[in-house]
């Protein structure tokens, strides 16, 4: 998915503050891939890079953990890649 046109689809206002890579990491988490190692392997990046991005994601979305992100997504408070909570 390309974000070069500036279009982020149907996301919560807070999620719009994420970069395309941050969206990819958040999508991995809400899709069930919640380990740092698993996310790093899926996105071909270093585990430390995942950790660094997660700190920024938490701040920008106002969540405190991966579980908090999943719960807020499930409850429809945060939409990732246009997918409402499950």
Domain ranges within the chain, ordered by starting residue: 15-74
**Residue 17 in tokens:** 């503050």
CATH 1.20.20.10 corresponds to the domain 15-74: no
Q: For residue 81, name the pLDDT band (cuts at 50, 70, 90).
A: low
> Which among 20, 3, 13 has a CA at the least distance from the CA of 79?
13
Decide: pTM greater than 0.85.
no
* Interval 40-65: pLDDT, tens: 999 999 999 999 999 999 999 989 99
DSSP 85: P
Please give the pLDDT value at position 14: 54
**Whether pLDDT at 19 is above 80:** yes
**Residue 80 in tokens:** 């990732």
Distance of CA 17 to the CA centre of its chain: 11
> Which among 38, 36, 22, 34 has a CA at the least distance from the CA of 78?
22
């Amino acid at each position: 998915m390309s974000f070069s046109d500036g279009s982020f689809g149907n996301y919560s206002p807070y999620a719009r503050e994420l970069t395309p890579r941050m969206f990819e990491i958040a999508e991995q988490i809400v899709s069930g891939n919640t380990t740092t190692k698993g996310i790093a392997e899926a996105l071909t990046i270093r585990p430390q890079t995942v950790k660094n991005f997660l700190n920024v994601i938490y701040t920008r979305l106002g969540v405190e953990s991966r579980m908090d992100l999943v719960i807020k997504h499930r409850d429809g408070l945060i939409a990732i890649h246009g997918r409402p909570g499950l």
